[in-house]
Amino acid sequence: MSDNRIRSVVIVGGGTAGWMTAAACGKILKSSCKIRVIESEALPPIGVGEATIPQINLFNKVLGLNENDFVKHTQATFKLGIEFENWTRIGQRYLHPFGSFGRDMEGVEFHHFWLRLYQHGMAKEIEDYSLAAVAARAGRFTRPLDIPNSPLADIHYAFHFDAGLYAKYLRSFAEAHGVARTEGKINGVQQHSNGFIDSVTLESGETIGGDLFIDCTGFKGLLIEQTLKTGYDDWSHWLPCDTAIAVPCESAGELTPYTRSIAHTAGWQWRIPLQHRIGNGHVFSSRFMSADEATAILLNNLDGEPLADPREIKFTGGKRKKFWNKNVVAIGLASGFVEPLESTAIHLIQSAIARLFSLFPTRDFRQHEIDRFNRLSDLEMERVRDFIILHYIATERDDSPFWRYIQEMQIPDYLAKKIEMYQNSGRIYREDEELFNETSWLAVFHGQGIRAKDYHPVVDTVSFEEVQRRVDGIEAVIQRSCQEMPTQRDFIDKYCKADKPQM
């Protein structure tokens, strides 16, 4: 058999996507092929995503990162969920926690037992039965503890971190694992007669060839779109927000172990607490609000003094028609974009990397493998899109043209059927390995005011009094467990406090 192994991988673009990909390539491919990152310091990365979801722990584990070291170098804090404010109506808030609600009983999900009580006014809100939610509200955090049958043994968490520092951290890791970096802008792309990329030429005149090219060039998609003309599916009719204003500010008060998402009249504002600052941004629709107005709203809702000038970022929600085209794989913003309402941007980079290694090609580039990569990528992005749309359409708000547009918007069939099933029976199913699980859908369904009319019939095989006793007992255990956790500030100070950043 001839040796058709990939001998060279060229990653075009750095930033979070480029260096996550490079780090994984360096760790997994080792010395089996040459890996090169081409990036230009004159083209700063977008870097708006500083919040993550728990799956990032799998990525860190694959790389073999020391978590305390990672947290220190990225000025990170820990994250137990996301709080949503003003989404159902102004003044209302709820928390989408990581982990699970309660404990399953009789082979049935906990929330069905809770629903039976809640419908009779005999249960608290659903987040009171989540250790992550209760601890987040109390500002507490710990890693999982080795305590059998305790909620403290099953703590799911993610991170808030500085995206620029994260890219630098992964660059050091990648270079230590044999990845080469070339500084420079690309001003030419050469193709074979079959359309495959052969090489790229830098402004310096250097030509760099490769077998497999990874496009991490952000929204412009230098290879996947500007060269290969792959095309783009525009989802702005479902996701009308198309602009973000981003600005960091000084830290204030305690380190909250959750992201905040605050809805405004034409979009929403993120608040991401790091050890050395707070990341802020206002995502909005330019059809319904000017950039000046959006900037003023953001600056009037900061916890501390701004640390930089506000930065405007334009985008179009959607995805490439193909994530993998010929010998080019788009990862990160080059592949598409769904606004970061549920902190999915970095996860979508991670999952694309995992999918690429699952279907890593030879130089034959078999089309059925490429097609499978694209089908799975399409499905993942569509399911994330639908979950984001849920936050918008499940609302009572009609106080602005933006929210009135949302109320009249048609939604994807998958989302409509998911809502209908929950409303009728309280049932939630995770389908086709979609990213968000039953806990996530339940948190947003209930938090946004969607109510189930019924629950699983097995629940009625247990007496009402016994259901009450079990559910109350779970809530009491969660409260006691929370009290055993240190504050996030104390935990970070003890294990992973970062050095003060150089000014």
- Active site members: 79
Give the bridge partners for 271, in sequence order.
260, 280
Alpha-helix residue ranges (DSSP H) falling in 44-95? 56-63, 67-73
Contact 97, 132 (CB under 8 A): yes
- How many angstroms separate the most distant Cα atoms in the chain? 78
Distance, in Å, from the CA atom of 345 to the CA atom of 60, rounded to the nearest integer, reads 16
- At which residue do the structure tokens 């929204």 appear? 219
Distance, in Å, from the CA atom of 133 to the CA atom of 93, rounded to the nearest integer, reads 12
Give the bridge partners for 330, in sequence order.
215
Encoded tokens for 360: 């890593």
Distance, in Å, from the CA atom of 16 to the CA atom of 39, rounded to the nearest integer, reads 12
Measured in residues, the chain has a length of 503
What 3-state class would DSSP assign to 205?
coil
- The single-letter DSSP state of residue 230 is -
Buried b (16+ CB within 10 A) or exposed e, 245-266: bbbbbebeeebbbbbbbbbbbb
φ, ψ for residue 330 (rounded to 5)? -90, 130
**Those residues with Cβ within 8 angstroms of residue 267's Cβ, 6 or more apart along the chain or in another chain:** 241, 282, 283, 284, 285, 289, 294, 402
Residue 260: how many CA atoms within 13 Å on its side-chain side?
22
